[in-house]
A and B are shown apart, each in its own frame.
Chain A
């Protein structure tokens, strides 16, 4: 298996623009997680899905952030409008068991 696939790997955008991050989980995994990592706050869970249904979105910072999982093989994290403080590395992870998560390579987002 190719592992968790994320795209793009790098994104540079200007404040106010819409940003969409994409994730393809490992086939057969029914949990999908979105994390954000910054130097100041470390690695934070934003939201996670089980069988395509959002279970816990308490980590989503505000209404500018939204996540969807239209099917078992694809998820998106959208930021609209983006702000400089959203600059971070965003990781997607998937798992069959809740604690054993497999992370993607991450998307490094820079908002100017």
Chain B
């Protein structure tokens, strides 16, 4: 599975959009981009995933560049409860179930 690079930490003002970048320049054509988050003292939580098209659900939007070498997770109206570590993971859908969690981005939403 391709390796990902994320900033170590980011801040966002409450009510504003949080844009979390992820670089996956070695991604292959059949690898998906997954995003998870982990709120302090809780288990990781699945957010969203995509292959090449932009995706949106009730939690977030995922924007994948045309060359698929990077993506951005967007939380449209960040709240204090969105403070968490956000993980970007690339994996083959047809692969085994293994998810490799890196260090992620610590997002601090501030009032």
Task: List residues of A whose CB falls within 8 A of some B CB.
Answer: 4, 31, 33, 42-45, 48, 50, 55-56, 91, 93, 95, 97-106
Nearest B residue to A92 via CB reads B43
Q: How far is the CB of B18 from chain A (nearest CB, A)?
A: 22
Secondary structure type dominating chain A contacts:
strand
Nearest A residue to B42 via CB reads A105
Q: How far is the CB of A92 from chain B (nearest CB, A)?
A: 8
Let me know if B43 and A99 touch, CB within 8 A: no
Q: Please classify how large the interface on chain B is, using the bins under 10, 10 to 19, 20 to 34, 35 or more.
A: 20 to 34
Q: How many A-B residue pairs have CB under 8 A?
A: 57
Once the chains are docked, how many angstroms separate the CA of A104 from the CA of B38?
Answer: 12
Let me know if A42 and B95 touch, CB within 8 A: no
Asked if B29 is an interface residue, CB under 8 A from chain A, the answer is no
Let me know if A42 and B91 touch, CB within 8 A: no
Asked if B17 is an interface residue, CB under 8 A from chain A, the answer is no
Let me know if B98 and A56 touch, CB within 8 A: yes
